[in-house]
């Protein structure tokens, strides 16, 4: 059964409010490149490392479990991830702070959620070494 406009607006208001994001937020810096210049934007997101819960349980092929990505980032649906070079784990959106921070490359970013356009963006990331 498709969602009507009232239900869709309710779901979108939950994800744009502070109720879902409270106590789990972290501010990170998105680094965009335009030509030869870099732009730094601070964004509030959920920043969660991936862990393997039980090493005794093999994957579907019967092999040892492996990490598919290092970190999972959840951002609001309105966040623009087009052109992001990497994500820096720093709250300060300046060049010296980004240079000293741990950096992550976005492997895959998909809109997910109950709405047809998604209610949030989930990005799988790898740490740059």
Query: For 113-124, what is each residue's pLDDT tens digit?
Result: 877 777 789 999
Using alpha carbons, select from 76, 126, 72, 67 the residue that is nearest to residue 102: 126
46 closest CA partner among 127, 122, 126: 122
What is the number of other CB atoms lying within 10 angstroms of the CB of residue 47?
A: 19
In the chain, what are the domain boundaries? 25-50+68-129
| Rounded Cα–Cα distance for residues 71 and 75 (Å) | 13
What would the mean pLDDT of 47-71 be, rounded to a whole number?
A: 72
Q: What percent of the chain has pLDDT over 90?
A: 42
Whether 117 and 9 have beta carbons less than 8 Å apart is answered as no
pLDDT at 113: 80
For the chain, the distance separating the N- and C-terminal CA atoms, rounded to the nearest angstrom, is 46
Average pLDDT estimate for 42-64:
75
User: Rounded mean pLDDT of the chain?
Assistant: 83
- How many angstroms from the chain centroid is the CA of residue 31? 13
Residue 28: its pLDDT value, please? 94
User: Could you read off the pLDDT of 23-37 as tens digits, one per residue?
Assistant: 778 899 999 998 899
């Amino acid at each position: 059964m498709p969602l009507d406009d009232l239900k869709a607006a309710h779901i979108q208001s939950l994800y744009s409010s502070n109720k879902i994001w409270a106590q789990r937020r972290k501010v990170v810096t998105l680094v965009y490149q335009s030509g030869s210049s870099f732009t730094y934007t601070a964004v509030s997101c959920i920043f969660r490392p991936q862990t393997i819960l039980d090493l005794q349980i093999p994957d579907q092929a019967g092999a040892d479990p492996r990490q598919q990505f290092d970190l999972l980032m959840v951002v609001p649906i309105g966040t623009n991830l087009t052109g992001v070079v990497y994500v820096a784990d720093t709250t300060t959106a300046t060049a010296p702070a980004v240079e000293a921070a741990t950096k992550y490359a976005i492997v895959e970013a998909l809109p997910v959620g109950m709405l047809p356009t998604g209610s949030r963006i989930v990005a799988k990331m790898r740490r740059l070494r």
